[in-house]
Amino acid sequence: MLGDERFDRPQDFDLGVYWVSYLDDFQARCYIGTATVRLLPGNAGACSATLPLRW
């Protein structure tokens, strides 16, 4: 449900510039590393859509 609250966007606001800056900051804060995950036999298929598996 939408409320009656309103806001005024600054005249010089540029959504494209803001979005690029936000994504750059987000990527800089993302943790990048490796992990060893042990699965029971037969369960690897359930994870293959989300995890890059190396055998």
Annotate 7-33 with DSSP letters as a single string.
Answer: ----TT--HHHHHHHHHHHHHHHS---
Looking at residue 45, what DSSP letter applies?
H
Beta-carbon contacts of 39 under 8 Å, excluding residues fewer than 6 positions away, are 47
pTM, to two decimals: 0.45
**Digit-coded pLDDT (tens) for 1-53:** 678 888 888 999 999 999 999 999 999 998 888 878 787 877 767 776 666 65
